[in-house]
Chain A
Amino acid sequence: MTDTGARERVETAVPEGGAGASPDAPVTRLRTKDLLGIAELSPAEIRLILDTAEAMKEIAYRPVKKVPALRGRTVVNLFFEPSTRTRTSFEIAEKRLSADTLNIAISTSSVVKGETLADTALNLQAMAPDLIVLRHSASGACHLLSRICRAGIINAGDGMHEHPTQALLDAFTIRERKGRLEGLKIAIVGDLLHSRVLRSNVLLLTRMGADVWLCGPPTLLPAGIDRLGVRVGSSVEEAIGGANVIMMLRIQLERMQGGFVPSLREYFTVFGMTPERVCLARPDVIIMHPGPMNRGVEIASEVADGPYSVILDQVANGVAVRMAVLYLLAGGAEDEAAA
């Protein structure tokens, strides 16, 4: 049930953070049982996740890489789209918190026999998981599950909508290197149309006060994107000029058949991150990529492996951020008698 290649109306209504208290006052917990998207998070909640992730990061460097915080909790990784990177990252995060993990890969499941998402979820819910990590090709799948299931739902990517943990780990990486998010010039280059990573990042970075510039082939530019509080560069040079951070998005090769880009080579010539283009940014720029990279398409190998690249840090930080999200949701809004 994937979205077609047609351009999407971009979601422009961003809910204000919570009624009553200022969204900037520090919080000690997340308001809901789920992490469905960045759209639902206030700046204070984003900061809470990043601060908690900072404490979690150190656990990866201990001799015993485990803490008992989620002992006895069951977490289900329900992935309807193939993923190694994100699923592994979640699995390591869950295991480091001592949770019991269950990986469900759809190709071997009853969905092949025609079971609906809702039924799959209800069946799972009957076995009382504490958290479900869901990746699905339909935008909004997590919101559906959140209504059906008592378990907390963590969105690991829904259609072309959001990928909140990716945006959080990106923000964590930037904050770790630059000390802040506010006021930084952050350029995001690539396939902006199909990318849920883009949407989550734009929501998060603008909410935290960064100066976000986008650039990509006009055929891959969502209508109305400028209404999200970002600038659209007329050329990649304009977008990355003087940038503190450059984020490359994957050209999704599977989209090539739709005629979006004349050829990969031409894409690299016009938009690819080469060492020469990197020189246009600030001398202390950091280069990011959510992975997996297409070397020689969106990014040159010398840049990917070069001194400005923090791509591998992103992967390490992904585990810490996901540990933080799991920890904050697992202790979360339990008003039922489960405790």
Chain B
Amino acid sequence: MPILMDADRMSRTLTRIAHEIVERNRGVEQLALVGIRSRGVPIAKRLARSLFEITNEQVPTGALDITLYRDDLMRHAVGPQPLVRRTEIPLSIDDRIIVLVDDVLYTGRTVRAALDALIDFGRPKAIQLVVLVDRGHRELPIKADYVGKNVPTSLWESVRVRVQEIDGRDEVVIEKHEPEQV
């Protein structure tokens, strides 16, 4: 299982993204980070910490569960219902610049669901997207504003991001599948 990023590389990549966020928005005023469950959440928290180190300002952070907004809900003829987890957005998103954070950008459907969910919470001034890995194969017109690494993949591969907070270690790997499994 080839390792795309080790812990060190992940850390430096996130620091770089934090700097890009500050640069593009000319500071962190009006910003809020919203991590998409599950692994977008610890990544968002790390970005918040980096932003604090750079600017000495606390950027509010929330967690978004998009399960109930998925476009493939209720379509599974067999298979378990995806488990719903808590959404915690303890801030008003009106007139804020929301920075959505996810681990992997693939078809774009997760981000589409996240956009729909966010709009139900209010009217943000703008929404920007951070992803650690963009693996291509978009099925919707969605683009990330900040990308950790672009990784061209085939449909028989998966990109797996592991984070200390959930998986016990930091790394990004590529897994190969047999064609039937996809």
B65 at the binding interface (Cβ < 8 Å) = yes
Chain B residues 67-114 with CB under 8 Å of chain A are: 67-69, 73-78, 80-88
Total contacts A-B at CB 8 Å? 61
How many residues of chain B get a CB closer than 8 Å to chain A's CBs?
24
B27 at the binding interface (Cβ < 8 Å) = no
A62-B121, A68-B68 as given contacts; A331 in contact with B84, CB under 8 Å: no
The answer to whether B120 and A64 have CB atoms under 8 Å apart is: yes
- The CA-CA distance from A35 to B36 in the complex, in Å, is 31
The 8 Å CB contact of A58, one of B88, B116, B122, is B88
Give every chain A residue within 8 A of B87 (Cβ-Cβ).
55, 58
Residue of B nearest to A333 (CB): B78
The 8 Å CB contact of A69, one of B73, B77, B78, B80, is B73
A205 to chain B, nearest CB (A): 24
The answer to whether B78 and A55 have CB atoms under 8 Å apart is: no
The 8 Å CB contact of A55, one of B65, B69, B73, is B65
A332 at the binding interface (Cβ < 8 Å) = yes
Give every chain A residue within 8 A of B121 (Cβ-Cβ).
62-64
B26 to chain A, nearest CB (A): 29
A327 at the binding interface (Cβ < 8 Å) = yes
A38 at the binding interface (Cβ < 8 Å) = no
B40 to chain A, nearest CB (A): 16
How many residues of chain A get a CB closer than 8 Å to chain B's CBs?
28
Give every chain B residue within 8 A of A81 (Cβ-Cβ).
none
- The CA-CA distance from A29 to B74 in the complex, in Å, is 12
B89 to chain A, nearest CB (A): 8
B39 to chain A, nearest CB (A): 17
Give every chain B residue within 8 A of A69 (Cβ-Cβ).
67-69, 73-74
A28-B83, A52-B84, A64-B120 as given contacts; A339 in contact with B68, CB under 8 Å: no
A67-B69, A69-B73, A73-B74 as given contacts; A332 in contact with B122, CB under 8 Å: no
The answer to whether A327 and B81 have CB atoms under 8 Å apart is: yes
A330 at the binding interface (Cβ < 8 Å) = yes
A27 to chain B, nearest CB (A): 8
The answer to whether B77 and A54 have CB atoms under 8 Å apart is: no
The 8 Å CB contact of A332, one of B67, B81, B82, B86, is B81
The answer to whether B76 and A68 have CB atoms under 8 Å apart is: no
A334 at the binding interface (Cβ < 8 Å) = yes
A58-B88, A64-B120, A69-B68 as given contacts; A331 in contact with B83, CB under 8 Å: no
B79 to chain A, nearest CB (A): 8
A268 to chain B, nearest CB (A): 41
Give every chain A residue within 8 A of B68 (Cβ-Cβ).
67-69, 97, 327
Digitize B109-131: 1 where CB-to-A-CB distance is under 8 Å, 0 elsewhere.
00000001100111000000000
A67-B117, A328-B81 given; name 18 further pairs at CB < 8 Å. Answer: A27-B80, A29-B80, A52-B83, A52-B84, A55-B84, A55-B85, A58-B87, A63-B120, A67-B68, A69-B67, A70-B74, A97-B68, A327-B68, A327-B81, A331-B74, A331-B76, A334-B77, A335-B78
Can you name 13 A-B residue pairings with CB atoms under 8 Å? A29-B81, A54-B86, A55-B85, A55-B87, A58-B87, A58-B88, A63-B121, A66-B120, A67-B117, A69-B73, A69-B74, A70-B74, A339-B75
Interface residues of A (CB under 8 A from B): 27-29, 51-52, 54-56, 58, 62-64, 66-70, 73, 97, 327-328, 330-332, 334-335, 337, 339
The 6 closest A-B pairs by CB, nearest first: A28-B80, A67-B68, A64-B120, A331-B81, A55-B84, A69-B68
Interface residues of B (CB under 8 A from A): 65, 67-69, 73-78, 80-88, 116-117, 120-122
